[in-house]
Amino acid sequence: MTQAGFFALVYAAGLAFNLAWGPRRDAVLACALAFPCGLTFWVLGALLGVATGLASAPAFGLGTLVALVVGSAAASLRRACTPISWTRVAACSAAFVAGAVLVSQFSLAKFSPDSHQFLRIAAVFSRGGRLGETAAFLADRGIFTFLSYAAGELAGVDFMFSLAPVVGLSLAALLAVAISRALEREGVDRRTRLLASAGVTAAVMTTYVIAFHMVYIHANLGSALYLFGFGALFWLAERDGDASLLSPALVCLVAFSIHRVEAPVFAALFAVLAAWPSQLPRRLLAAGLFAFGAITAGWLLLLSAAIPSEGEFLTPGRAVLLSAMSLAPLAGLPLAARLPRALVARHLPTAVLVVASVGLAVTFAIKPHHMMTSLEAVVVNLLGVQIGLFGYAWWAALALGALCLATPPSRIARPLLMGVAVSVIVVVLLGFFRVPYRVGPADSAGRMFIHFLPLLYFLYAVKLVPLRRWRASAAEEAG
C-alpha cells in the first residue's frame, strides 16, 4: 500500500461513517469531513492495539477501518430513504484522491527535534511497540500524532511525509465548506458566500505558521483541524437543530482531546460551553459526551498507571485530574438540564470567563515574574509582526473581536467565541505549571494558538458577513 492508498482508505472509511451517521444529505460536507473522521477511527483502533497489546497498532487500525466501512454500509442501508447525491460524492472523492496523490509525490516535510521524536515513537508503535516501554514519551505528547504516523510501515515509506499536507488540505476544505454552509443557513446570497468562504480560507491558510505546519511534522495543525471541526459542526447543528452533525462533531472532539497532553482541558471547556446551553436533544448529547468522556478519561487513566511519577508535563496525578475534567461535561449535563436554558446560555460563558480570569490572577499573584515572562512571550509571539509567526492574523482577530462587540450578540456563536477567549486565558495560565513560555516559533503557547485561529475566523465570518447594516430597521425589528 502506498501513502495515497492509505489516505484513500482512511477517506473511504470516514466517508462511509459520515454517510451513515453524519450529514448524509449534504454530500460535500460529508466528503470534507471524511478524512478527519477516518483518521480518528484509525487512531482509535490503533490506540486499542497499544492499550491491549493484543496486536500491533497498524493491525488494529486497519481492522477498525474495515469494520467501520462494513458497519457504516449496514447502517446506511437502514437510512436508505435519505437520498445521497452520488455525483457530488464522486466529484469530491476524486478531488481528494487527486490531491492526496499529488502531495504524496513530493517530500515537503520539515523537521525539528520534536518531529524526530514523533516519528521514532510512531515507528516503535508500527512495529508492535507497547504502552509500557513508550510511556515516558507519552507523558509530554499526545498519542494521536504518534499513532497517525504509525501507518508508515503499512504504506511502505520511512514515515508519512504527506500526512501533514493532507491534514492541512482537509482543514482548508472543511473551513471553506463549513463557512459556506453556515452562511447559507444565515440567508447570505451565493456570491457573497463563495467570496467569504474563499477569502477567509485563503487568509487563514496563508498565515505563515499555519502554512508552515502544513509541511511540518507536529501535532498542532491536527489539533486546529479537530477543534475547528467540533466548533463548526456544533454551530451548524445548533443553528438548524440538525442532530446528524453531532456524531462527526463529537468524533472531532475526541480526536482533539488526545492530540496533546493539555488538550482535555480545552476539549472539556468547549464541550461544556457548547453542550450545556444547547437546544439539541439531551439524549444524543449525553451519548456523545459519554463517548468522549469514556475514551479520553479511559486513556488518561491507563496512562496514569504507566507514566513516570515525576515529570514536567503529565504526571499520574495530573492525568487523573484531566480524566475527571473529561467527564465533567457529561456529569454536569443533568444539572444544566434542570436550569432554564436561557439562563445557562446567558450566564455560563461569563461565569467560565470569570473563573478563568480569577485563576489567572491567582497565578500572577503567586509567581508574578514567572507569569509576566510567559505573558510577554505569548504577546510577542502572537502580535510581533517582525517575528513573522502569525503576521497580522491576531491583530486582525482583535480588530474583528472589537467589531463583534459592536454588533448584536449571537446565541450560538457567543459561547464558542467565549470559549476561544477563555482558552487564551487558559493557555497563559498553563504556563504556571511549567517553565515560562519563550519567544520563537518553537514555543508551545505560540503553537497552541494555531488551534483557535480557524475556529475564530469561522465564528467571525458567520457573525459579521450576514450583517448588511449595523442595526435592523424598525420594520425588520418589528418583523
Partner 1 sequence: MGQVILWAYVQLVGLALATACGWARRPMIGCALGFPLGLVAWGSALIALLWLGLPLVAAIGAAAIVLAVAAGAAAWRRRADVDGRALAAAAAALAITAAVAALATAFPLAIVAERGHRILLAATAIGRNVDSIDFIWNILPSPPVFQASLHAAAPLVAGRPFFAALSPLCGIAAVVLLAGGGAELAGRGAGRAVRALLGLVLAAALCSFLFAVQATAVDLHAAAALFVIAFLVAHAIGEESAAPASIWAELLLLLGFALQGLAESVAASAMLLAIYGCDRRDPARLARPIFLYTAVLTAWHLLLWEAIGRRSLTVEPREALALTAAPVLAWAGLLAGTVRLSRPAPRRALALAAAGLLVVGIGLALGWTGDGDPGERWTAAARWFGRYRPGLSDCLLLGLAAVCVPLARGSASAAAAASVCILAAVELLIDLGEPIDPRELAGPLRVAAAAPALLLVMLTGVRLLTARRDETESRLDSAATATTATTATSGTAPARVNLLPAPRGLFAAVVAILLLTNVHHQVRAHRLTLRDARRLLAAGPTSLAGDERQFAYYLMGEWIPGATVVIPPRLADHAVFFRVLGRVAVEIAESTPRLRPDAVAQLAPLRAARRPLYYHVAAESESVYLLPSPRSSRYVLAEASPGTLYLLPEPLYFWSAIPAPGAAGAAR
| Residues in touch with partner 1 (CB under 8 A) | 2-3, 104-109, 111, 113, 116, 119-120, 123-124, 127-129, 133-134, 136-137, 156-159, 161, 192, 195-196, 199-200, 202-203, 206-208, 211, 385-386, 388, 391-393, 396, 399-400, 403, 406-407, 457, 460-461, 464-470
Of 207 and 304, which has the nearer Cβ to partner 1? 207
Place of cell 501535532: 219
Question: Helix-strand-coil percent breakdown of the chain, rounded to 5?
Answer: 75, 0, 25
Q: CA end-to-end span of the chain, whole Å?
A: 60
Interatomic CA distance for residues 444 and 212, integer angstroms: 15
Instruction: Tell me the closest approach of the beta carbon of residue 393 to partner 1, in angstroms.
Output: 6
Of 77 and 470, which has the nearer Cβ to partner 1? 470
Of 137 and 313, which has the nearer Cβ to partner 1? 137
Place of cell 475527571: 324
Instruction: Tell me the closest approach of the beta carbon of residue 281 to partner 1, in angstroms.
Output: 33
Of 87 and 386, which has the nearer Cβ to partner 1? 386
Query: Which contacts of 395-401 are long-range, i.e. CB under 8 A and separated by 24 or more positions?
Result: 396/203, 397/453, 397/456, 397/457, 397/460, 400/460, 400/464, 401/460
Of 354 and 442, which has the nearer Cβ to partner 1? 442
Of 86 and 392, which has the nearer Cβ to partner 1? 392
Torsion region of 161: left, alpha or beta (phi above 0 gives left; psi -120 to 50 gives alpha) = alpha
Instruction: Tell me the closest approach of the beta carbon of residue 257 to partner 1, in angstroms.
Output: 25
Instruction: Tell me the closest approach of the beta carbon of residue 398 to partner 1, in angstroms.
Output: 10
Instruction: Tell me the closest approach of the beta carbon of residue 208 to partner 1, in angstroms.
Output: 6
Of 138 and 330, which has the nearer Cβ to partner 1? 138
Per the DSSP assignment, residues forming a β-bridge with 216 are 110
Interatomic CA distance for residues 190 and 183, integer angstroms: 9
Instruction: Tell me the closest approach of the beta carbon of residue 447 to partner 1, in angstroms.
Output: 17
Instruction: Tell me the closest approach of the beta carbon of residue 190 to partner 1, in angstroms.
Output: 15
Q: Which of 71, 52, 48, 72 is nearest to 61 (CA)?
A: 48
What is the crossing angle of helices 413-430 and 220-240, to 10°? 150
154-170 in b/e form (b: 16+ CB < 10 A) is bbebebbbbbbbbbbbb
Instruction: Tell me the closest approach of the beta carbon of residue 192 to partner 1, in angstroms.
Output: 8
Instruction: Tell me the closest approach of the beta carbon of residue 144 to partner 1, in angstroms.
Output: 20
Burial zone of 346 (CB within 10 Å; 0-12 exposed, 13-18 middle, 19+ buried): middle
Of 189 and 351, which has the nearer Cβ to partner 1? 189
Interatomic CA distance for residues 369 and 219, integer angstroms: 30
Q: Which three cell numbers stand for residue 430?
A: 498553563
Contact 168, 212 (CB under 8 A): no
Reduced to 3 states (helix: H, G, I; strand: E, B; else coil), residue 110 is strand
Of 242 and 376, which has the nearer Cβ to partner 1? 376
Q: Which three cell numbers stand for residue 68?
A: 467501520
Instruction: Tell me the closest approach of the beta carbon of residue 110 to partner 1, in angstroms.
Output: 8
Of 127 and 341, which has the nearer Cβ to partner 1? 127
